[in-house]
Amino acid sequence: MNFKKVMSVGLVSVLSLGMLVGCGSKTSADTSSKKGSDASGTKKTASQDLSGAVATNGSTSMESVIGNLSEQFMQDNPNVKVTYDATGSGTGIESVAAGSCDIGLASRALKDEEKAKNLEEKTIALDGIAIIVNKDSKLSDISLDDVTKIYTGAVSNWKDVGGDDAEIAAIGREAGSGTRDGFESITGTKDACKYSQELTSTGAVIEAVKNSPNAIGYASFSAVEGQDGIKALTVNGVECTEDNISNGKYVIQRPFNLITLKGKDLSTQAKAFFDYASSKDASKLIEKAGAVPTAK
């Protein structure tokens, strides 16, 4: 083989090797550029890497709202577990102050003495407090003034407000309940209510009214919707609806708040849940739970 032919073959070999090396580098670069993406090519977000637990504690009235939000959050973040302890607003607030939960749930505003403990609130929704009676009651409407008279004992017979001749059983919540606090503040009955029964959950109030033809109670609108055996009265002629709560026409309403300790950083997963629950992304789930979201 002559010299020129040998050089030609060698040059082709070198060029071929260079092309192979070049192709190998390109493949490596392509692979590297896909890091941080899943099989579909969707770029992963930080939230997909969250893990750990988030402990919430408080208002029984917020059960539907927190249930919807935590279920979706855990679906989006399968390595995070959100727990909910339905203890009532007062206990939830105390738990945050004591450091025994991440986020407190309160269906009322913080009191001055609670704010003095370095606590702060974030309102994620508004909720109407429905005035409920047994489904067989003659009443369909009641004035706010008559509600006040019933719960203070000034009126004790249904005939005095348009019902049957029967003694009224006024059902309410226990001391420390956010629903009770909101109801008594709005009706001006704080420390003046005379209850036939004081019950420890929204569900218990609904059941008591359902099972007693002469009972009246108050309960979260988000918990009352779709319940059999009871009916929600209009108050001063205004129905308890999302629109009337949002525009302020329905007067017996209160906030749904997330409670945290000012100056104390939440864990990464708790902060992510807090941010999600107070964002526009949560609005549809809050509405589904029967409350009115504040983030628009």
Cβ neighbours of residue 207 under 8 Å, at least 6 residues apart?
Answer: none
* Residue 41 covered by a domain: no
CATH code at 89?
3.40.190.10
Q: Are residues 95 and 193 in the same domain?
A: no
Q: Are residues 238 and 284 in the same domain?
A: no
* Residue 14 covered by a domain: no
Q: Are residues 184 and 218 in the same domain?
A: yes
Q: Are residues 133 and 187 in the same domain?
A: yes
Q: What is the pLDDT of residue 44?
A: 38
* Residue 26 covered by a domain: no
Burial 235-251 (b: 16+ CB within 10 A, else e): beebebbbebbbeebbb
Q: Are residues 167 and 152 in the same domain?
A: yes
* Residue 22 covered by a domain: no
Q: What is the pLDDT of residue 124?
A: 98
Domain total for the chain?
2
Residue 71 sits in which domain range?
A: 50-126+255-293
Q: Are residues 180 and 85 in the same domain?
A: no
Q: Are residues 235 and 132 in the same domain?
A: yes
Q: Are residues 180 and 237 in the same domain?
A: yes
Q: Are residues 107 and 208 in the same domain?
A: no
Q: Are residues 240 and 213 in the same domain?
A: yes
Structure tokens at 151: 């719960």
* Residue 29 covered by a domain: no
Q: Are residues 162 and 272 in the same domain?
A: no
Tens digits of pLDDT across the chain (296 residues): 444 443 444 434 433 434 433 433 333 333 333 333 343 333 333 456 899 999 999 999 999 999 999 999 999 999 999 999 999 999 999 999 999 999 999 999 999 999 999 999 999 999 999 999 999 999 999 999 999 999 999 999 999 999 999 999 999 999 989 999 999 999 999 999 999 999 999 999 999 999 999 999 999 998 998 899 999 999 999 999 999 999 999 999 999 999 999 999 999 999 999 999 999 999 999 999 989 999 97
Question: 52-58 and 80-86: which strand pairing?
Answer: parallel
Going 207 to 208 to 213 to 216, the CA torsion angle's sign is negative
Q: What is the pLDDT of residue 56?
A: 98
* Residue 44 covered by a domain: no
pTM of the shown model = 0.74
* Residue 34 covered by a domain: no
Q: Are residues 186 and 243 in the same domain?
A: yes
Q: What is the pLDDT of residue 36?
A: 38
Q: What is the pLDDT of residue 222?
A: 85
* Residue 10 covered by a domain: no
Distances in Å between the alpha carbon of 258 and those of 55, 103, 108, 122, 199? 12, 6, 10, 5, 23
